[in-house]
Amino acid sequence: MARLISDPDARGELFSAYLDGQLAPDEVVLVSNLLDGDEEVIREFRSLQRIRRSLRLLPEFEVPANLLPDGHLGDRLSAYLDGELVTLEHRRVTRHVVDCPDCRIELQELDRARIAVRSLPGVDTTSTGEIPVTPPVRHTRRYVAAGIGAAAVAAALVVGLAVGNGDEPAFSLNDLGTRHVARASAEPGFAVLPASVEVSFP
């Protein structure tokens, strides 16, 4: 204590660390004692306080945008909502969203859209009979064109469902798959996948 009173540098160092909240509890008590009375010591403290404040009030510049990558989460947000991210990635996204207002807003909008889509009423196939898609049947085949067949089936289904009406023939997954395999047999060039590739129809 006596040294601190007589040594302005030691005292100032203590004040500086006190202002930064970097002192141990016993040192904080020491500072309180030092500031209890002596006008000169109090002036010294105030002076350091003003210097520190002037440094902390220096304006903060924005980093030029061209230096930063587009670090937003993009399609990871949808995967995040759907619970498709593995644990570590999920936690990273959570932390980013907490800190990034843009991604937080985007996440909320995506979530609203997702809920809206999921709450759409289901199509009643039993009452109208308009879309009598055959219930999924699992097949495992070793045909070379099966992969292309699956893609073709999916595409056909999309088109069929988009333009179809009650008067048009119904689609059948089995039927389309069978027709595609038949074409692959008749046109060798149609088949591009190696024979060893095993593809499962959904």
Partner 1 sequence: MGKIITDEFTPTWEDVAHRYGRKIYNFAYRLTGNPDDAADLVQEVLLRVRKGLDSYRPGSFDGWLWRITRNAFLDGIRRKQRRPESALPEGDHHTLGSSPSPDEVLSSVRLSDDVQSSLLKLPYEFREAVVLCDVVGLTYDEIAEATDAPVGTVRSRIHRGRKQLRELLTWPV
Count interface residues toward partner 1 (CB under 8 A).
35
- Let me know: does 132 contact 157? Beta carbons within 8 Å: no
With a CB cutoff of 8 Å and minimum separation 6, the contacts of 156 are: 171, 176
Write the interaction track for partner 1 spanning residues 161-200; mark x where CB under 8 A is met and - where it is not: ----------------------------------------
Smaller CB distance to partner 1: residue 40 or 167?
A: 40
126 makes contact with partner 1 (CB under 8 A): no
Closest CA to 97 of 78, 117, 69: 78
Which of 28, 30, 52, 172 lies at the binding interface for partner 1 (CB under 8 A)? 52
Rule CB under 8 A: which of 83-102 touch partner 1? Answer: 88, 91-92, 95-96, 98-100
Choose the binding region for partner 1 from 12-20, 142-150, 158-166, 174-182 (rule: CB under 8 A): 12-20
Q: How far is the CB of 7 from partner 1 (least distance, A)?
A: 12
d(CA 22, CA 140): 68
d(CA 171, CA 182): 17
Give 19's Cβ-side CA count (13 Å radius).
18
Beta-carbon count within 10 A of 54 CB:
9
Which residues of this chain interact with partner 1, rule CB under 8 A?
9, 12-13, 15-17, 20, 22, 47-48, 50-52, 54-56, 58, 60-64, 67-71, 88, 91-92, 95-96, 98-100
